[in-house]
C-alpha cells in the first residue's frame, strides 16, 4: 500500500491511497471537511465523508502526469516503470504543478 497527502494551496485536503490489490481511494481529512472556507479539490470529488474508490488512478490525478517524451525522460531519470502511474505521481507532483494541487508521498 502506498499513500500520499493531497494539498490544495498548501492546505492538506486528504489522503490518496493505492491499495495492494491495485485500487485507488481518495478521502478528505476531517479538518478539511469541517472548514467551510475550503472547497472541493475537484468537481469529481465533492466535499463528503465518503471514500472515493476507483480501479484506475482517478483522471483528476492522472491528468497531473506528463505525457510522451517528457514522461519517458522522467521515468528514465527517476527509474520508474512507465506503467507505475502512482509512483510517477508521487515522484513528480509534490511541487511545481499546474494549479493549486500538490501530492506528497507519505
pTM: 0.90
The series of mean pLDDT values per 10 residues for the chain, 106 residues long, is 95 97 96 95 93 96 89 87 90 83 94
Domain extent for 93: 2-105
pLDDT attached to residue 87: 92
Give the DSSP per-residue string, 25-45.
EEEE-HHHHH-TTPPPSBTTB
3-state helix, strand, coil in the chain (%, to 5): 25, 30, 45
Indicate the number of domains in the chain.
1
Amino acid at each position: 500500500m502506498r499513500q500520499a497527502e493531497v494539498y490544495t494551496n498548501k492546505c492538506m485536503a486528504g489522503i490518496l491511497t493505492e491499495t495492494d490489490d491495485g485500487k485507488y481511494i481518495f478521502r478528505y481529512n476531517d479538518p478539511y471537511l469541517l472548514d467551510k472556507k475550503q472547497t472541493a479539490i475537484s468537481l469529481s470529488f465533492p466535499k463528503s465523508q465518503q471514500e472515493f474508490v476507483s480501479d484506475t488512478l482517478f483522471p483528476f490525478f492522472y491528468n497531473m502526469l506528463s505525457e510522451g517524451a517528457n514522461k519517458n525522460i522522467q521515468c528514465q531519470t527517476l527509474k520508474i516503470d512507465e506503467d507505475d502511474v502512482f509512483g510517477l505521481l508521487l515522484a513528480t507532483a509534490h511541487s511545481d504543478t499546474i494549479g493549486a494541487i500538490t501530492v506528497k508521498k507519505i
